[in-house]
Amino acid sequence: MSPSAISTHRLPAEWEPHAATWIAWPHRRATFLGPFAEIPPAYERLARVIARYEPVRIIGSPEVLAAPRAALADAANVSFVEIPTSDSWIRDTGPVFLVPRADAADGRPQAVCWNWNAWGGKYPPWDADAGVSRAIARQLGLDPIEPGLVLEGGAIETDGEATLLVNERCVVDERRNPGVDRAGMERAFEHWLGVERVLWLGGELAGDDTDGHIDQLARFVAPGRVVAARQPDRSDPNHASLAANLDLLAGFTDAHGRRLEVIPIDIPARFAFQGTQLPASHLNYLVGNGFVAVPVFGGPTDEPALRTIEECFPDRRIEPVDCRALVRGRGAVHCVTRDEPAAG
C-alpha cells in the first residue's frame, strides 16, 4: 500500500454510516454444536432485522445460496452475491474497510484484505474463505490491499479516531504470523490501518476458539468510551481474566490523550450447551444505520445489557437477537456480519 493511501484514508468506527452489511450463509455443520437445522433460520432472522435498516448482501456458492434465496424471497433490501465460502464467519474473513479522510480526493472506501488461516489452523479446509475478502473487494470495484499478514476482523476494535483495541492472545500468535512480535503488529496497524495508538488487552472467554477476539470482550461506543464484559460469578472461568481487563482499561488513554470511560456489562455465567461452555457475550453486537442488534441468551443478564447498550446509543433502536443457536458456533451477531461503510 502506498504512503498516500494511508494519508487519505482511515479506519472508521462501526457507528459511522453503512452502505450495507454482508453475511456469509451457513453450510458447514462441523463448526456448530448440536442440530444444524436450527442455524440457517437464525441467520435468516438476523438478515431480516438488519434489512429493515440497511441493505444486506448474502454470499455463498450458487448451491449454498439456493436456500436463502428461497427463505428470503419476500424480503426487501436483501441481495445475493455468488462468492464461495468455507464457513460463515464473515467478520473474520471479509475485508477491513477504510474510509476517505475529509480532504481525500478519492471518495471511495478501500478494502484491506488480510490473510486467513482459520484462527491459526483450527478448521481445515479454509481455502475458499481465504479468498472471500478479495472477492468482496473486487465485487465492489476496489483493488484489494494485501498486507500479507493474518488478521481477523473480530480481533480489532476502533473508535474511528486512530485508537485500536486488540487482544494480544489472538494477534501476536506464532500460528497466525510466525516471527511477528507485538511491536511488529503495531507497525502493521500503523502502516495498513492508520492507527496511532494500540491498547492491548488479554484473556478470552471459555469456549472461544478465536483465542479471545476483542468483539467479545471490549467495544468502543464513542470516542473515549468503552463497554467491557464483566463476570461477577467467581466460580465462572471467565471471572478473573475479565476483571483483569477492566483494570487495564481503566488505566488506558486513547490516541487523543483521553482517559477511557469504562462501562461494564455483565455476561451470562457458565453458559453451556450439552456440558460445553460457550462464549456468550452481549458485546458481540452490530451497530448499524439507526439500530444496534444485540445478542441475548434467554437469561437474567439480557435486560440489563440491553438497557446499558441503549443508554450508550440513544439515537438508535435496540434490536435484541436471540443467539442461543448462533453461539453454538462460538460466535454471535458481530461474528457473522461484516459492515461495509458508506462512500465519502
Q: Which of 344, 326, 330 is nearest to 23 (CA)?
A: 326
* 113 flagged as catalytic: no
Burial of residue 274 (number of CB atoms within 10 Å: 0-12, 13-18, 19+): exposed
100 strand-pairing partners = 9
Torsion, Cα of 68, 144, 289, 162 (10° steps): 140
Which residues neighbour 89 within 8 Å (Cβ) at sequence distance 6 or greater?
Answer: 24, 31, 129, 154, 329, 331, 335, 336
The CA–CA distances, whole Å, from 171 to 72, 168, 184 equal 36, 5, 11
Task: Select which of 170, 312, 323, 335 is catalytic.
Answer: 335
Q: Which of 85, 53, 80 is nearest to 139 (CA)?
A: 80
Distance in angstroms (rounded) separating the CA atoms of residues 226 and 261: 6
Q: Which of 171, 241, 172, 248 is nearest to 213 (CA)?
A: 171
Distance in angstroms (rounded) separating the CA atoms of residues 132 and 113: 9
Which residues neighbour 187 within 8 Å (Cβ) at sequence distance 6 or greater?
Answer: none
Check: CB of residue 181 under 8 Å from CB of residue 301.
no
The beta strands (E) that lie in the chain are given as 9-10, 18-24, 56-60, 78-82, 96-100, 110-112, 156-158, 163-167, 197-201, 218-222, 225-230, 261-266, 272-273, 276-277, 286-288, 291-296, 317-322, 338-341
Report, as residue numbers or ranges, the catalytic residues: 335
